[in-house]
Chains A and B, each alone.
Chain A
């Protein structure tokens, strides 16, 4: 995964300038900020509020409403494990419990070595090949403990 850039205001302002001309620019801005920095820094909120002529509370409300936006940096690799019913029908809940335990994190948590962040998702549209996951945006299917550990080990340290 491309390494996220450390938060910096000039870069954030450039992103704001790039998107603020759109109709309804809020989500595109937030996605672009998260893409760049890996999360939405608290310092972004007053900047967005000022640019879009909104109150800070309104911007904060939007950022916290959506599950995608992180409030702190993620690990080097993001594992999104599906918890949808089609994945549950093939044992995803047990797989998730084992994976979280192995990595020593809870949902949304990041391992102490900052390698992995594990997030729940509710369906990836891979429901005939369950259980499934996205690892750094790449799809994994018909997972079991062995294949998931293998996939994690393959990216570890990269």
Chain B
């Protein structure tokens, strides 16, 4: 790969004394840090639906994403850097997905693979389907397709690598002073409840009540008449 060539790493303008040449490399922290991270992204072994089968095919010998340092799929979120949301996200499943996301250590990335994970896909109108995983967890890369072919998945993963390359250690969220807030876990009530939406739910309930009262008021005189 291009970035691994010496001239790319040694891109800073420092002169290396002749006697040290070939033994010392100088680069920026960002570059070497990102290079290390982007070349060993460990995905969470986590498949939701049809797209997961294409993910497995991508891992298998014909497409083989080991070429990009991603073959170490971890079944435990504690050891994973990347969550490939491969499949339809359902309401029944979303609390688990958010919990898994919270359990992954920083730095962590999310790839929404396929139409379903990106926005609900063919099943969007279903009563148990979440309109895209980004309603609950932040997504870094979206991959189109139903299912995306292995080539498309690899393209998405390369896009993620580019994103990592562009990050700076000074700005990334996991080195800031303030703690990173966990994503609140949705609750399975009469429908799935996003804890961010409590206020809207109250407002809406009030509206429904008013409507009911108004309607009662409208129909009441008619009855007496």
**A and B interact physically:** no
| Chain A residues engaging chain B, CB cutoff 8 angstroms | none
| Chain B residues engaging chain A, CB cutoff 8 angstroms | none
